[in-house]
């Protein structure tokens, strides 16, 4: 049997290899947010567009424009079905872009919206989506100020795809980065995990399960502002746990900061219905997407202040400390299981829940 040191060395050698896309054609896994996505981004897009801002690979770009510090981000939405308990593709698109700006520490200001519509798509459904986007923008305090519309022939799309971009202003003297985690820091989530991904799977009707569960899609900018006001420069990293779930986010942080992230399984908040559905699907809730939950890595001395700020907001009343940052083994996420053992939690492989956002 290989020793633990040999296994860790093998993992480290694999990570040092230059990213290379081995597939000749794009697969669904390339859009799942896990290993295949990261390889595609590194080997194709970063290689083609390389520059210091892009290479940071944060949720958005932080830019100096004259005297202003701005955050800029973009995202696309292809969720199926378009309408689901707790939301639809419209508010998902607005909230997702607002949240990416908030994870940069920015106050979101303005969004763009691009629509790709399939010939034959019902106008009533488009009005419903536009109305949902308008309400979500108003709730988040942003405006949709520009956009674009394209129509493709029947059968060349799946109803409606949306791309949004957003700009916000960085008003606080804090720099949030996946490279900033330090040994001793606390790892916090703002609420139960996996609600969105499991809601989408149940809404497709592929599982004969009825459950009282809704997507957690929501704008996190107010929650984030309260957190930053309470803890200031004690906040190291903020990420919203979308594709690939919390497990992938923690792997990104561990790799970027060259630290270990240790998670206590018993402390991870997951609703019973999400746990049950995940067991039926054969997946781990740590890999299931959220659309209204954040992961925060904070200085341990600010943990109480951060938790108080999160729990003072309706979107953070289920917040929990789920682990801590350690110095060894660097670049890995470890889970202390309920049975007293420890296992490595790797980045998502494949795409167990396609088209969830």
Q: What is the pLDDT of residue 357?
A: 92
Q: What is the pLDDT of residue 1?
A: 44
Higher pLDDT, 108 or 174: 108
Q: What is the pLDDT of residue 87?
A: 97
The candidate with the shortest Cα–Cα distance to 108, out of 142, 79, 134, 133, is 142
The candidate with the shortest Cα–Cα distance to 200, out of 90, 87, 280, 118, is 87
pLDDT at 2 over 70: no
The candidate with the shortest Cα–Cα distance to 167, out of 243, 81, 65, is 65
pLDDT tens column, 144-203: 999 999 999 999 999 999 999 999 999 999 899 999 999 999 999 999 999 999 999 999
Mean pLDDT (whole number) for 68-81:
96
How many angstroms separate the CA atoms of 331 and 92, rounded? 31
Residue 201 has phi, psi (to 5 degrees) of -60, -40
pLDDT tens column, 206-215: 777 778 899 9
State which H helix or E strand residue 202 sits in: helix 195-203
CA–CA–CA angle 181, 186, 188 (5° rounding): 105
Q: What is the pLDDT of residue 5?
A: 58
Percent of the chain with pLDDT over 90: 80
Q: What is the pLDDT of residue 280?
A: 86
What token pair was written down for 75?
A: 């995202």
How many angstroms separate the CA atoms of 341 and 125, rounded? 50
Q: What is the pLDDT of residue 12?
A: 56
Q: Which residues contact 67 (CB under 8 A, 6 or more apart)?
A: none
Higher pLDDT, 277 or 3: 277
State which H helix or E strand residue 240 sits in: strand 235-240
Reported as a pLDDT band with limits 50, 70 and 90, residue 9 is: low
Q: What is the pLDDT of residue 350?
A: 79
Residue 159 has phi, psi (to 5 degrees) of 90, -80
Residue 280 has phi, psi (to 5 degrees) of -65, -35
Q: What is the pLDDT of residue 347?
A: 87
Q: What region does 128 belong to: left with phi over 0, alpha with psi -120 to 50, or beta? A: alpha
Q: Which residues contact 34 (CB under 8 A, 6 or more apart)?
A: 243, 244, 248, 287, 347, 348, 349, 350, 351
Q: What is the pLDDT of residue 210?
A: 77
How many angstroms separate the CA atoms of 31 and 14, rounded? 22
What token pair was written down for 287?
A: 């890999």
pLDDT tens column, 337-351: 988 899 999 988 878
Q: What is the pLDDT of residue 319?
A: 98
pLDDT at 10 over 90: no
How many angstroms separate the CA atoms of 205 and 225, rounded? 38
What token pair was written down for 288?
A: 């299931």
Range from 35-44, 189-198, 235-244 carrying the lowest mean pLDDT: 35-44
How many angstroms separate the CA atoms of 96 and 73, rounded? 10
Mean pLDDT (whole number) for 98-111:
98
What token pair was written down for 17?
A: 């290899």
CA distances, 349 to each of 152, 226, 243, 283 (Å):
32, 35, 12, 11
**pTM for the full predicted model:** 0.92
Mean pLDDT (whole number) for 134-141:
98
- Walk across the sheet containing 143-152 and list its strands: 61-65, 68-77, 160-169, 107-118, 143-152
Reported as a pLDDT band with limits 50, 70 and 90, residue 4 is: low
Q: What is the pLDDT of residue 15?
A: 53
What is the average pLDDT score of the chain? 92
Higher pLDDT, 3 or 87: 87
pLDDT tens column, 247-287: 999 999 999 999 999 999 999 999 999 999 999 888 999 99
């Amino acid at each position: 049997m290989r020793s633990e040191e040999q296994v860790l060395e093998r993992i480290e050698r694999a990570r040092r290899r230059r990213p290379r896309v081995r597939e000749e054609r794009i697969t669904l896994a390339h859009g799942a947010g896990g290993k295949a996505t990261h390889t595609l981004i590194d080997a194709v897009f970063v290689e083609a567009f390389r520059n210091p801002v892009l290479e940071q690979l944060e949720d958005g770009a932080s830019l100096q424009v004259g005297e202003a510090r701005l955050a800029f981000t973009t995202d696309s939405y292809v969720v199926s079905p378009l309408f689901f308990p707790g939301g639809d593709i419209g508010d998902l698109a607005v909230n997702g872009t607002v949240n990416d700006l908030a994870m940069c520490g920015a106050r979101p200001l303005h969004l763009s919206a691009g629509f790709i519509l399939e010939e034959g798509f019902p106008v009533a459904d488009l009005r419903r989506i536009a109305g949902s986007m308008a309400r979500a923008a108003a709730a988040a305090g942003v405006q949709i100020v520009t956009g674009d519309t394209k129509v493709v022939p029947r059968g060349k799309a799946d109803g409606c795809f949306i791309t949004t971009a957003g700009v916000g202003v960085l008003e606080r003297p804090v720099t949030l980065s996946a490279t900033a985690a330090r040994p001793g820091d606390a790892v916090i989530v703002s609420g139960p995990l996996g609600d969105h991904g499991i809601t989408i799977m149940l809404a497709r009707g592929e599982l004969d399960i009825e459950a009282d569960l809704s997507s957690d899609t929501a704008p996190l900018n107010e929650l984030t502002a309260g957190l930053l006001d309470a803890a200031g420069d004690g906040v190291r990293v903020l990420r919203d746990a979308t594709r690939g779930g919390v497990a992938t986010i923690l792997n990104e942080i561990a790799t970027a900061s060259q630290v270990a992230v240790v998670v206590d399984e018993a402390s991870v908040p997951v609703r019973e219905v999400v746990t049950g559905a995940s067991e039926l699907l054969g997946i781990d809730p740590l890999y299931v997407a959220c659309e209204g939950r954040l992961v925060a890595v904070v200085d341990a001395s600010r943990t109480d202040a951060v938790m108080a700020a999160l729990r003072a907001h309706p979107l953070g009343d289920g917040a929990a400390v789920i682990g801590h940052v350690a110095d060894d083994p660097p670049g890995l996420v470890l889970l202390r299981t309920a049975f007293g053992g420890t296992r490595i939690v790797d980045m998502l492989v494949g795409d167990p829940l396609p088209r969830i956002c």
